[in-house]
Amino acid sequence: TQLLEQSPQFLSIQEGENLTVYCNSSSVFSSLQWYRQEPGEGPVLLVTVVTGGEVKKLKRLTFQFGDARKDSSLHITAAQPGDTGLYLCAVSGANSKLTFGKGITLSVRP
């Protein structure tokens, strides 16, 4: 059973469109992280959300942590080709070990 379910698995959109992707679980977490990974590179941390209901913005990216701290969403406004990549959510467990979702492959066409 996957701890973190990410959806949709694949998304291909036109430049300028908005999109929302999700990271869901039946478990409660003290915090949740979002990463973006480009082909042939390691993941890069985008944000950490900690408080239930918290909303964090990073330029055109808006992250929200669910009130019950079981899920999170990532909204991208006016997507650009540079947003293309694999978006991973992750939670930290014992001994700082991270568990990742399967990721969302986003492709933004020019």
Task: Report residue 104 as tokens.
Answer: 């969302």
Q: Mask of contacts with another protein, 26-45, x by CB under 8 A?
A: -------x------xxxxxx
Cα 29 from Cα 21, distance rounded (Å): 19
Minimum distance from CB of 86 to another protein (Å)?
7
Chain positions 42 to 61 lying near another protein, rule: CB under 8 A, are 42-45
Cα 54 from Cα 84, distance rounded (Å): 25
Binding of another protein by 97 (CB under 8 A):
yes
Task: Report residue 68 as tokens.
Answer: 């019950």
Tell me if residue 81 falls in helix, strand or coil.
helix
Nearer to another protein, 5 or 13 (CB): 5
Work out whether the CA dihedral 110, 19, 58, 4 comes out positive or negative: negative
End-to-end CA distance of the chain: 37
Minimum distance from CB of 88 to another protein (Å)?
6
Binding of another protein by 88 (CB under 8 A):
yes
Binding of another protein by 1 (CB under 8 A):
no
Q: Which residues bind another protein (CB under 8 A)?
A: 33, 40-45, 86, 88, 95-103, 105
